[in-house]
Structure 1
C-alpha cells in the first residue's frame, strides 16, 4: 500500500503528492497556484505591453498581449478547477456544508486586493499632489464625470443590493425570489461591463486617450482597467453560481459559494464608489 493510501486510511485525506495532480485533495490542491500564476501574468503582460511600445522598445509589440492571453487561459483554467473541486464536486458528494474556512479565505484574498488597489491609488494621489498635475489634468476630456459614469455607478450599486437580497431569500427558503434576484444581478453586472467598454471606446476613439499617453491616462486606465477585470471575474463567478442555482445546488443550509461570491461583489462595488469619488470627481474638481 502506498503512502497516499495509508494517509487516506489513517487521516481521511491525501498528503500533498505528485499523484494528486491536477485533481487535488484537500490541502494538496494545486488549482489555487495555477489561478495565482495566471493572475500574476496579467500584471506581467501589462508591463511587457508598455515596454514594447515606442522607438526604444525592449520587447516585441505582441509579447505583452501574448502573455496576457496566455495568462487569461491559465487563470480561467485554474479558477474552473478550483471552483469545481472546492464547491461543485463536493456538493454532489454531500461533503459541502457550512464552511467558514472558505469565508476566511475570501477575506484574506480581499485583504490582498485592498493592497493591490491601494498601490494604484497611491500613484494617483502622488501625481494629484505633484507639481505636474496642472499639465496632467489637461488630458481630462469634457464630460469626464457624465451621465454614463453616474448611470454605471447606479447600476453597480443596485446589483449589490439585488445580490444581497438574493442571498437573504435563499436563506429564508424562497427559491423563486433567489433565482430572480440572482439573474438580475448577473444582468446588471454585464450591463456595467458593457458601459465601461463603451466609455473606453469614447475616450480612446473620440478623445484620443491612450494607456501610455501621460500620467493621468496611465492612472485612469490602470485603475479602471484593474477594476473592470475584477468586475468581469465577479460576473463569471455569479454566472457559475447562477447555473448551479438553477440545478438546485443551493439551499438554506448550503450556500457557502453564494456567500463568498457576495463578499467579492460587494468589495468591487465599494472600490468603484471610491474610484468614482477619487478619480472621476477628483479629476474635475
Structure 2
C-alpha cells in the first residue's frame, strides 16, 4: 500500500534536475547561473581594463575589453534563456489564469525595485562628485557632451516608448496587425539607440580621448551610461522574444501578460535614460 502511494507521488513530482539542461528544464534551470556568471565577468573585465592602464600595466590592453565583451554576450544569452524559460515555454504550456499573470506582474515590479536601487547607487556616486569643490576643474576638461547625437538618441528612445504603448493597446483590442507593426518599430528604434550609444563611445574614446579612466566623471559617466546600455540591450532581448511569439500568434486580448511585463521594463529604462541625460549630459554642460 505504501509502495503504491509513493509511486503515485513520484508520478506527480520529480526532482528539480531530472529534466534540466539542455532540454526540458523541469523545475530547475541553469540560466540564472549563466546570467550571474556573465554579470560577474562584466565587473572582472572592467577591473582588468583598469589594470592595463597607467604606468604599471599588469595585463595587456585588450584583455579587459575582451573579457568585458565576452561577458556581456554571455550575460545576454543567459537573460534570453532565462526569460524564454520563465515567460515563454513554461508559461505558455501551463495556461494563463489571472493568478499566474498577477504573479508575473508583481515579479517584474519587484525586479524593477531592485533596478531602482542599483541606479540610485550610481547616481549617489555622481552627485557626491558634483558636490565637491573640485568639480569646476573636472568640468573644464570634459568634451562637449550635449551634442546632436545624444538628442537624437533620446528622441528615439522616447518615441519607442510611445510606439510600444500603441502596440500594447493594439493587442488589448485584438488588433494583431497593428500590434506586430508597432512592436517591430519599437524593436528597431531600440536597436538603433544601442548603435547610437556605441558610436558615441567611439567618438568620445577615439577622437576626444575621454575614457573610463578620465577622472571621477569619466568613471561615473561610463559606469552609468554603460549600465543603462546593458539594460536597453536586455530590453531588446525581451522585445525580440515577444516579437517572435507574436509572429506565432501567441497573444490575444485575453492573453498578453508577457507584453505587459516587457512594456513595464522598457518604459523603466526609458525613464532612467531621461534622468541620465539631465544629470550627466545637461549637468556637465551647466557645470562647465
Give the structure-2-normalised TM-score: 0.87
CA drift of 1:157 comes to 0.8
Aligned to 2:18: 19
**Pairing of 1:62-211 with structure 2 (within 5 A):** 62-90=62-90, 93=93, 95-98=95-98, 99-142=101-144, 144-211=145-212
Instruction: Give, in whole Å, the separation in 2 of the partners of 1:79 and 1:205.
Output: 31
Paired residues of 1:5 and 1:14 also in contact (CA < 8 A): no
Paired residues of 1:90 and 1:96 also in contact (CA < 8 A): no
Aligned to 1:30: 30
Instruction: Give, in whole Å, the separation in 1 of the partners of 2:103 and 2:170.
Output: 23
Query: SS in structure 2 opposite 1:93?
Result: helix
Over 3 Å counting, the alpha-carbon distance change for 1:119 and 1:255 in structure 2 is: same
Cα deviation digits, residues 1-34 of structure 1 (max 9, x gap): 9xx976553xx44443x324324334x3332233
Paired residues of 2:45 and 2:67 also in contact (CA < 8 A): yes
RMSD over aligned Cα atoms: 2.5
Instruction: Give, in whole Å, the separation in 2 of the partners of 1:277 and 1:122.
Output: 15
Give the structure-1-normalised TM-score: 0.88
Over 3 Å counting, the alpha-carbon distance change for 1:7 and 1:41 in structure 2 is: farther
Cα deviation digits, residues 93-124 of structure 1 (max 9, x gap): 35345422222221121112112111211111
Paired residues of 1:139 and 1:217 also in contact (CA < 8 A): no
Cα deviation digits, residues 65-101 of structure 1 (max 9, x gap): 3433443343233223323322332366353454222
Aligned to 2:277: 276
Query: SS in structure 1 opposite 2:212?
Result: coil
Paired residues of 2:197 and 2:229 also in contact (CA < 8 A): yes
Query: SS in structure 1 opposite 2:18?
Result: helix
Does residue 256 of structure 1 match 2:257? yes
Instruction: Give, in whole Å, the separation in 1 of the partners of 2:199 and 2:130.
Output: 26
Query: SS in structure 2 opposite 1:169?
Result: helix
Cα deviation digits, residues 147-199 of structure 1 (max 9, x gap): 22222111111101111121111011011111111011011111211221222
Cα deviation digits, residues 225-267 of structure 1 (max 9, x gap): 1111111121122122112211211111221221111111011
Paired residues of 1:167 and 1:258 also in contact (CA < 8 A): yes
CA drift of 1:62 comes to 4.4
Q: Which moved more, 1:35-44 or 1:164-173?
A: 35-44
CA drift of 1:41 comes to 2.4
Paired residues of 2:46 and 2:64 also in contact (CA < 8 A): yes
CA drift of 1:132 comes to 1.7
